[in-house]
Amino acid sequence: MANHSQKVWFITGSSTGFGRSLTEAVLQHGNRVIATARKPEQLDDLVKQYPEAAKAVRLDVTNPHEVQTAIQSALDAFGQIDVVVNNAGYGSIGAIEEISDEAIRRQFETNVFGVLNITRAVLPILRQQQSGHILNLSSVGGLVAFGATGIYCATKFAVEALSEALSKEVANMGIKVTIIEPGAFRTDFNGRSLAKPDQLMDEYKAVSGGFLQWLEEMDGKQPGDPDKAAAAMIQVVESDNPPLRLALGADAVGAIEEKLKSMQAELDAWREVSVNTAFEGAEIAAIGG
C-alpha cells in the first residue's frame, strides 16, 4: 500500500470552491496545509480550528514575488512540500470574437502562467526531495471545447499539455502529476468566478447567450459535490498508481467518451489521407521515441 503518513499540501485558491473543500478535507484527514488565497483572512476560521496544521498565506499566482514568498512560508512552517494543487483560476465565457485582448491575456495569466509560476518555483524542492505530487485543476473543457468557451478551454488545453509533458519529464524523479478534469460542480464558477463579455454580439447571441443562460439556470443545481471531489483528489494522492488524468462527474466522463469516439471515427475516416504523406520508403518512427 501507499505511504499515508502526514503530508504537507500547498493549495492555491483555497478560500472558495474546490480549494476550500479540499483544504478542509485535507485537514480533516490529518495532513498539514499551506492554504493560499488573495484574501487569506477568509481562511481564518480554519487556521483557528487547526492552529498546528493550517497556515493561510496571501498569494496572487500571477505575482512571481508572492509565489516565492508563499513557497518559502511553507518551508519555514513545515520544512517540506509533498502535494502541490494548482487550483486557482476562473472562467471566461464568450465567443472568440467577443472577448477583449485584455480579458484574454488576463485569463491566460491566471489559468496558465499562474500554474507555470507555481510549478516552476516548486519543482526544485520536489526534485531535491525526490518525491512529490502535483495536481493541476483542468476541466472537462481541457479536453472538450464548447461554443462560447474557447478562451477558457484554450487555457485548460494548455494546462493539459503542460501537465502531460511534465509527467514525462519528472517520472524518474519520484514526482507524480495528475490532471483533474471536473464537470459541473456546485461551486461559484457559474457566479462570482465567471467573466463575461461587456457586450454580446448579435451574431453570437444564440451561442454565447444560450451558454450563459444555461450556466445561470444551472447555478446552484450542478450535480457535482465539491466535498466528494476533494475526497477523490485525496484518494489519488494516496494511491500507489495514481492516474495522469482523473475526470470528475458523470457529465465529464460522458463528454470525454464522446470526444474520444468522435476523434477515433474521424481518424479512421481520414486514415489513408493521413498516412500517405510520407516520402516513398521513409522509415516511420514514433514521435519522441
* Active-site amino acid positions: 138, 152, 156
What amino acid occupies position 112?
Answer: V
CA angle, 56 then 245 then 221, to 5°: 70
Which secondary structure element, helix H or strand E, spans residue 215, and what is its range? Answer: helix 210-218
Q: How far is CA 80 from the centre of its chain?
A: 22
What is the Cα–Cα distance from 246 to 181, expressed in whole angstroms?
A: 6
Around Cβ 106, how many Cβ atoms within 10 Å? 17
Kindly report the number of other CB atoms within 10 A of residue 207's CB atom: 18
HSE toward the beta carbon, residue 124, CA cutoff 13 A = 7
SS3 (DSSP) at 195: strand
Instruction: Indicate the residue type of 53.
Output: A
CA distances from 173 to 121, 167, 176, 227, 259 (A): 16, 10, 9, 31, 33
